[in-house]
Amino acid sequence: MGRLIVAKTIDINIKIDVFNSLNELSETEKLLCIKAKEILNNAYAPYSNFKVGAALLLENGEIITGTNQENIAYPSGTCAERTAIFYASTQFPGITIKAIAVTAKSESSIFTINKPVSPCGACRQVIAEYEQKQNQAIKIFMIGHNDTVYQCQSINDLLPLMFNK
């Protein structure tokens, strides 16, 4: 048996900016993060006890929020990010989404939050679709319990080698 030879290795770099406080963000971005934190109390998460809040900043300055909504038939529920994005796309079709902020609160022993909360794979794929649709990057803010914030400039940093058109 011949040895397989690696032709080359692709090294992918992603960039995450870390802030230690919401005060280091611009006023608009800070407000976006605060809206995500406030709305998570509206989550319906009786099965996971993991409440997630998302807030979108639209190009007209409007902020749209969403929470996770669970169901006894688990896959019927949806994440906070997708609740917000699909609502925005329904109410403001074609409008550009400038940024999304995500945060969570856990009352479960399964989920502990020791790092800023980042979107699940399915939500990353959805964010990627809208980035491509609007042909403009969507900034992503991931907020942790003590207001540590991870910032990415685009979904490219969270979903390298994404499936797209």
Enumerate binding residues for ligand THU (CB under 6 A): 45, 48, 50, 52, 68, 70, 77, 79-81, 119-120, 123
Nearest to residue 96, comparing CAs of 55, 51, 47, 60?
A: 60
State the minimum distance, in angstroms, from the CB of residue 78 to ligand THU: 7
Give the SS3 label for residue 150. Answer: strand
- Of 13 and 76, the one with the shorter C-beta distance to ligand THU is 76
In whole angstroms, the minimum distance from the beta carbon of 145 to ligand THU comes to 15
Choosing from 81, 107, 129, 131, the catalytic residue is 81
Tokens of 99: 């940024």
- Residue 54 contacts residue 101 (beta carbons within 8 Å): yes
Residue pair 86/122 in contact (Cβ under 8 Å)? The answer is: no
For ligand THU, the closer of residues 123 and 155 by Cβ is 123
- Of 69 and 153, the one with the shorter C-beta distance to ligand THU is 69
Compute the least distance from the CB of residue 72 to ligand THU, in Å: 12
Query: What single letter denotes the amino acid at residue 57?
Result: L
Cβ distance to ligand THU smaller for residue 38 or 59: 38
- Say which residues have a Cβ less than 8 Å from residue 16's Cβ, sequence separation at least 6: 150, 151, 152, 157
Q: Are 14 and 150 in contact (CB under 8 A)?
A: no
User: Does the active-site annotation cover 81?
Assistant: yes
Q: In angstroms, give the least distance from the CB of 155 to ligand THU.
A: 13
Q: Which residues are known catalytic residues? A: 81
